Structure 1
Amino acid sequence: MSRIYQLLFSICWLFGCWLAMMGLHELGHVLGGLLTGGQVSRVVLHPLAISRTDLAMNPYPAIVVWAGPLIGVILPLGLLIAARLTNWSQAEFVQFFAGFCLIANGAYIAGGALDGIGDCGVMRQTGSPLWLMWCFGLMTVPAGFVLWHRLGSIRDWWQHPERTSEHSAWIMLLTVMTLVVLMVCFSAQ
């Protein structure tokens, strides 16, 4: 039975990391827009859609487009530093999340650079060179894997399902379900 709780926790945790990563990425676009005098018209954060921030007025699109992935990696790293400095007992979860954000944002920018996918199209239109986008990915993706590697062996974790309690699995499921409901209710369509 403990294997079921381990699986439930893992699936919910990964889905929660994905949703939180999208939220931080879009927060970066929103902050970039507001700090450069832009006007945010809507933010799409639906769990079944790719997140997006639309600006009605965007005087500095290059800054706004780069703010998403930059804030999307800087904030999780800042949270990790804070967790480590305070010796928080759950810092491993923050470390996993920071690694997740580094990998996701870096792969998105480096991988989408040639085809101009999503933000990468705006980056290219506003003059960001390919090498800069690839360098962002080359710095963040390996750094994310290093953070994950320092957490230890996934094989070791998998061989000890008893380390995941029934209580933590249900709490994670409830947390992710609450996040999904809030995203559906408050996301612009």
Structure 2
Amino acid sequence: MCSLIKLILTPIICWYGMLFTHKLGHIAAALLTDATGINLHFPLLGFPQTIVQHNPHPLLEIWAGPTLGNLMPLGLLLLSIRAKRFQNFAATFTGFCLLANGAYIGLGGIDQIGDAGDLLRHSSPLWILILFGITSISFGLYIWHTTLKRHRISTSTQTATY
């Protein structure tokens, strides 16, 4: 039963955690760049939206979402490794955030949707969005791969000692 609960809750926590860190990046950059009229619409179901009425540095605010949405989970993963606690969950969450942000920016640039569309409208070159996507997705998959590999080794070691 506990495994079933983890199986159900983990993707939900990862999804909302990724949305939270991504939106926190937008809001932090908007506040730091003296943007005004900052509103966050965060529905329980659906996609959240950060609305900034006047933004003197829109590229910085837009890039901060996916960038901090990747860096904050990476920081959490490093803390969990150092503390030797919750490493598997932190790695799962971090990998998810890297994959989601990478796909959102890298693939979103092709259809010019969401943040990727805003970045392109503010003169970010498409190749940078694609490079961000490839890099984020690659690191996310690498983190998931090494976590799964470490989990398999620790599980086989525990089984062998009994």
Shift, 1:54, TM fit:
0.5
Say which of 102, 108, 112 aligns to 1:106. 102
Letter in 2 for 1:124: L
Q: Distance in 1 between matches of 2:40 and 2:136?
A: 25
Show the counterpart of 2:50: 53
Show the counterpart of 1:176: none
Shift, 1:55, TM fit:
0.8
Show the counterpart of 1:81: 78
Show the counterpart of 1:116: 112
Q: Distance in 2 between matches of 1:111 and 1:56?
A: 26
Identity across the alignment (%): 36
Shift, 1:47, TM fit:
2.3
Shift, 1:65, TM fit:
0.5
Task: Compare the two structures and name the one with the higher helix fraction.
Answer: 2
**TM-score, normalisation: structure 1:** 0.76
Show the counterpart of 2:32: 35
Q: Distance in 2 between matches of 1:31 and 1:8?
A: 33
Residues 138 and 42 of structure 1, relative CA distance in 2, 3 Å threshold: same
Letter in 1 for 2:122: T
Correspondence 1:108-187 to 2 at 5 A? 108-152=104-148
Show the counterpart of 1:71: 68
Correspondence 1:14-33 to 2 at 5 A? 14-33=11-30
Mark the runs of 5 or more structure 2 residues left unpaired by the alignment. Answer: 153-162
**How many residues in Structure 1 have an aligned counterpart in Structure 2?**
152
Q: Distance in 2 between matches of 1:54 and 1:126?
A: 16
Shift, 1:40, TM fit:
4.3
Kept after mapping to 2: 8 A contact 1:110/1:137: yes
SS of alignment partner, residue 110 of structure 2: coil
Question: Which runs of at least 4 in structure 1 moved beyond 3 Å after TM superposition?
Answer: none
Pick 1 or 2: higher relative contact order, CA cutoff 8 A, min separation 6. 1
Kept after mapping to 2: 8 A contact 1:34/1:40: no
**TM-score, normalisation: structure 2:** 0.88
Q: CA RMSD in A?
A: 1.7
Q: Distance in 2 between matches of 1:58 and 1:92?
A: 39
Shift, 1:143, TM fit:
0.6
